[in-house]
Structure formats: C-alpha cells, structure tokens
Amino acid sequence: MTRDLGTVTLLAAQADGSVITGPAGSPPSTRLAPGATVGTALHGLEDVLGLGHDSTHLVVTDTTGGGITHHVAWCGLLPASWMPPDEHRAAPFGRVLAAMVPAARTRLRVAARTGLLGDQAAHLTNGLPPGAQPTKSERTAARFTWHTRMPTAEEDKTVHQVWGWLTDPHGRVLVVLDANDAPSLPGGRPEPGESLTETLAREAMEEAAARHGKPTVLGFQKVTEAGQTPYRQMRMAAPLLAIGPAAPDPDTGETYRRVLVPAAHANLLLGWGPEGDAQAAAVATAFPGRHGCALRHVPETGWLPQGVEKDVEVS
C-alpha cells in the first residue's frame, strides 16, 4: 500500500462568501503520494474546477506527525459568471467549518484569513500556529446558538458582552486583528452602570478608534460552556462614521490592525461557524454593498467615508 505524504486542498469563494465544496461536502482535496508534487496536485484540482493555473497560491502548510504535510491553496473570489462543475456545490463557509475536524477547520480558517488579507503564507504544526494556545471556546467546549430577536427581560440579565457589526457606506464591516491575527468585531463587556449601546461606543473607540451612528439590535448568541451558567452575547449593527489614528487599547495595551471587509465575506475572515454565516448575511442585507469594493486595510492615520480611496487623518 502506498503511503500518503499529505494532502492538497483548494479553497475558492464566491461573491456571496460561500465556498466551493466537492461531493464529500468539503473543499476539493487530493492526496499526495510519493513522487507527486504539490504543484501537480494543485493543477489537477484546478482542472477539475475549470480554473486557470495562475489563479491560486499556497497560503497554509501544516506539518503533522509521521512526515505528513497538509497544504491549502487560496483561489480567491471567483467571477460571478463562474459555475461549479457537476458534483460540486457552493456552501456557507461557517457550515463547512462546522462539519470538519478541528485541525482541518483551523487550516481552512487560516487559509481564508491569509488569502483575504494578502498576508504571507502561514506555517502550522499539528493544526496550530507557532506558540498558539487553545482559545477560550476550545477550552470550555463552548456551544453557540444564534437568535434573531431581542432578549427577554430575563435573558437580558445574562448579556455579558456586546459586539458591533460597524458597516461603512460601501457595505464593508470593520474587523480588528490582534498580534496573532485573531480576528474579531469591536466590542466587550459592559462596565457597571453602562448601557449596552454605551459599551459598544466605548469599546469601538478603545479597540479601533471608531465612531458609529445609532445601533440596532441584530440578535443575540447564547453561549453554553462546560460547568458554567449559560450567558448571552448581544450583536448590534450600526453605520460606521469614521476611524481615527491607530492607538493602544487601554485594556490590553495592544494596537490592533484594522480592516474593512465586505459584509458578505466577513465570515471568511472571522471563521465563526454557522452563527457567523447568519449574522454576516443579516448585515449584508441591511447594508448592501454599493460599489463591489474589496477588502481594505485601514491605514494607521485613519479613515473617513468621503475619503475612502485616500489615507486621511481623523481627529
């Protein structure tokens, strides 16, 4: 029996943020046998999907035990006219992630993030970035349930966090990335005597130097963790008015990288599972993109809506 040396996976997304899957419900993949090259295997996957050989690049290499290496290539966003071949489908990214084992899930999350941001290729070991620790959700075996409504008075007592989908006039959502490139929306825990809208305004300013308009409630996420009383995370949406110069977060001392990503593609960056799919779809509907803008890295000097194509300073 020929020993496999690893796998090559092709990650391609459509304009609505869905990703292409094969008959097994996961992105197209092939095994590497001795003598095979990553390039040859990748070309075979591209041919199956009817793609050119110059549209993809490797974004993740994951080395596991026994000399097995898993490679993921990012194909980027496919043209609207492209149609998947027989036995291939487009599926929401979060749903695809939820069906995968943890290591493969991490590879896809990192691949989508790296590809969208245009960063250098990531190198993982046993499904983890160098020095990475399990997330709080992984440590506590957290489960999430998304509800598209206001919490009841009783549920409202257990809202411990509020995060905002802050969206610019082009339908792009503000996402912050920490030193390890872990993405999140601006938000956090309410301080004593603070309303949820006040919390969102304060956290958006502290984490991203961002100002926003009047927020509306998208819904809430119920979080169930091992050995803990369930609690809730509120999700709000609001128009993004301006982003000021980058500055350290007073809570962590860290200055976050800030990007504006089309709402339809937001869960490709966040990797939040089916709950992220639902939230991003709701925001994309409420704040439709007007000009088909691509992801934008916010300069350290800041951003204003009327200067969307220029680096401008916000006071």
Q: Is the pLDDT of residue 279 over 80?
A: yes
Q: In angstroms, rounded to a whole number, what is the distance separating the alpha carbons of residues 48 and 12?
A: 13
The predicted-structure confidence for 165-187, as pLDDT tens digits, reads as follows 999 999 999 999 998 889 999 99
Give pLDDT, residue 291. 57
Query: Among residues 311, 289, 146, which one has the least CA distance to residue 224?
Result: 146
The Cβ of residue 299 has, within 10 Å, a number of other Cβ atoms equal to 15
Give pLDDT, residue 137. 80
List strand residue ranges (DSSP E) for 133-229, in order.
Answer: 143-147, 159-167, 172-177, 183-184, 187-188, 210-212, 216-224
CA atoms within 13 A on the CB side of 310: 6
The predicted-structure confidence for 107-128, as pLDDT tens digits, reads as follows 999 999 999 999 999 999 988 8
The predicted-structure confidence for 183-228, as pLDDT tens digits, reads as follows 999 999 999 999 999 999 999 999 999 999 999 999 999 999 988 8
Helix, strand, coil abundance in the chain, percent, nearest 5: 25, 30, 45
What value does the mean pLDDT of the chain take?
90
